[in-house]
């Protein structure tokens, strides 16, 4: 199983943020702040912070009505760290607590089989 901190391929990111791969490549060409790690053959690998930035760009374009030029302006006027933070997934506290409970239960089950 892949670590949640592992780099993701463009296909995985496309599914995660529900945006076609060709759009992600277009955004990479349009916004210099998007810099995925590139392996031999041009294979793109995205970090969690890259994904947060892409998620925020999507919000700006599709939810807040920014144009490409408007997003470029937004990205140039704001700290990239803050922009990535804005793009993080927000999990409601009650959901977070329930997930933690489930995690602890799974850890107990795993210990039974070790």
Note down pLDDT in tens along the chain; length 114 residues. 455 568 999 999 999 999 999 999 999 999 999 989 988 888 899 999 999 999 999 999 999 999 999 999 998 888 877 777 777 767 778 888 888 999 999 999 998 888
Q: Tokens for 38?
A: 């590139």
Q: What is the DSSP letter of 61?
A: I
Whole-angstrom CA distances from 83 to 62, 65, 80, 114 are 16, 16, 5, 43
Q: What is the pTM of this model?
A: 0.71
**Edge-to-edge strand ranges of the sheet holding 44-46:** 8-9, 44-46, 37-38
Compute the distance between CA of residue 28 and CA of residue 14 in angstroms, rounded to an integer.
13
Q: Is the dihedral of CA 73, 22, 28, 64 positive or negative?
A: positive
Q: Write down the architecture of domain 8-88 according to CATH.
A: Orthogonal Bundle (1.10)
Per-residue pLDDT at 13:
95
CB atoms within 10 A of CB 29: 8
- pLDDT at position 83 is 76
Give the pLDDT score at 3.
55
Q: Which residue has the tokens 């790690």?
A: 37
What was the pLDDT predicted at 28? 94
The pLDDT value given to residue 5: 66
């Amino acid at each position: 199983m892949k670590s949640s901190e592992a780099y993701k391929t463009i296909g995985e990111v496309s599914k995660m943020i529900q945006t076609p791969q060709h759009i992600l490549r277009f955004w990479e060409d349009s916004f210099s702040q998007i810099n995925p790690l590139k392996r031999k053959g041009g294979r793109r690998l995205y970090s969690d912070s890259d994904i947060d930035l892409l998620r925020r760009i999507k919000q700006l374009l599709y939810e807040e009505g920014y144009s490409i030029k408007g997003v470029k302006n937004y990205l140039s006027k704001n700290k990239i760290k803050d922009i990535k933070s804005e793009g993080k997934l927000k999990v409601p506290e009650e959901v977070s607590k329930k997930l933690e409970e489930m995690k602890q239960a799974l850890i107990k089950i795993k210990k039974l089989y070790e």
